Amino acid sequence: MLAAGLYAVWLVLVLFHALFPMWLLAAAGAYVTALHFSLQHEAIHGWRSCPAWLRFALVWPPIGLWLPFSVYRRSHSIHHRNPNLTYPGRDTETVYHRRWDWLRYPRAYKALLMFNQTFFGRLLVGPPVRLYKLMVSDLMPLLRGELRDLPIWLVHAGGVVGVLWFVTEVGDMPAWQYIAFFAYGGMVLSWVRPFLEHRWGQRPFERVASIESNWFFGLLFLWNNLHIVHHRHPTMPWYEIPGFYRAHRAELLAANGHYVYRGYFDLLRRYSLKPVFVPVHPDA
């Protein structure tokens, strides 16, 4: 039902884009694309009664353009090895760097990474920083002749061409609008959730946050803003997370060392231009 509703809204936005004010099209396009990314995340962990091929088919269409689902599924599965959380070289989603790497970075690159540790910075430079990481980790090996993932990228490229063909030829939407509003805007909005999702802690679950947000962000992120629940129970369906969190809040916050914030506006207030931490791992 969620997938059907999501694709229906996407179709309406693309086919009838001329009827919407530009600001509304940009906001709605970013939201539906970010929600699709959340749906892909749900498909990695949940729907165990649904055949794997159907889970894949329901979330594969690359409406966000930039990340192949198969690459995301493999990378995110590695991230869920909880003892390795936050460790550079082991956690595929960490923002931390090894100390000896940090010391060798140019001053401008360090400044960029520190700006990326602010809320506004994550929205402004987070997407290009992530795209650079994707290029280094996945595209550069292809250029070096490591062709294991070539079929994934070829299929993804075909999907991207298909999406852009539909958008421009059937929907008659300029490609720049779709790339700016849907693809890039969705990536920016997706970057709100992981902004302070993980930090270093002695015990694995102390590295996982809980952001107690509202329905707007809760639905957008399929309640994975209550991230401590997800790391303790990764196969729990998204719609069960809020009730479980309310019933076990004290236990969950005891497990994560009370690593909790009162919503994303709380993060904005605290860290709009203040780095949340220096991204140098203390144990790596």
pLDDT block averages, 10 residues each, the chain of length 284: 96 98 98 97 84 89 96 94 95 96 96 97 95 90 89 96 98 97 97 95 96 95 97 94 98 97 96 97 92
Cβ contacts of 14 within 8 Å, gap of 6 or more = 166, 167, 170, 171, 173, 178
* Count of domains forming the chain: 1
Instruction: Specify whether the CB–CB gap between 232 and 206 falls below 8 A.
Output: no
Chain centre to alpha carbon of residue 45: 14
- Enclosing domain of residue 155: 2-271
- How high is the pLDDT of residue 51? 84
The answer to whether position 45 is within a domain reads yes
The answer to whether position 279 is within a domain reads no
The answer to whether position 53 is within a domain reads yes
Instruction: Specify whether the CB–CB gap between 66 and 43 falls below 8 A.
Output: no
Structure-block tokens of residue 235 = 């196969």
Instruction: Specify whether the CB–CB gap between 200 and 208 falls below 8 A.
Output: no
The answer to whether position 156 is within a domain reads yes
Torsion-angle region of 212 (φ positive above 0: left; ψ -120 to 50: alpha; else: beta): beta
Query: Full-prediction pTM beyond 0.75?
Result: yes
Rounded CA gap, 113 and 164, in Å? 32
- How high is the pLDDT of residue 139? 87
Structure-block tokens of residue 68 = 């192949």
CB neighbourhood size of 73 (10 A):
17
The answer to whether position 54 is within a domain reads yes
Structure-block tokens of residue 213 = 């947000």
